Amino acid sequence: MKYAVVNKTIGVLKSEPKDNSENVDEVLFGMNVEIIKESLNNWVYIKTLYKYEGYINKEALMISDKISKQWEKEKNVVVINSFADVLNKPEASGYQLANLTRGANLISTNHISENQKFVKVILPNSKIGWIRKNFISDLKKTYTIDGEEVLRENLVKSALSYLGTQYRWGGKTPLGIDCSGLCSMAYMLNGILIYRDAKIKEGFPIKEITCEKLKKGDLIFFPGHVAMYLEKGNFVHSSTSNDIVKVNSFNKYSDNYSDDLKKSPKIYGSIF
Positions marked catalytic: 179, 225, 237
d(C-alpha 195, C-alpha 211), whole Å: 21
Per DSSP, 166 falls in state B
Q: How far is CA 82 from the centre of its chain?
A: 11
Q: How far is CA 117 from the centre of its chain?
A: 25
Residues 6 or more apart in contact with residue 127 via CB below 8 angstroms: 97
CB 198 within 8 A of CB 225: yes
Residue 47, helix vs strand vs coil: strand
Question: DSSP alpha helices (H): ranges in the chain?
Answer: 65-74, 148-160, 179-188, 259-263
In this structure, how many other beta carbons lie within 10 angstroms of the beta carbon of residue 71?
A: 23
Residue 27, helix vs strand vs coil: strand
CB half-sphere exposure, 166, CA atoms < 13 A: 4
Q: Which residues pair with 44 in a beta bridge?
A: 38, 56
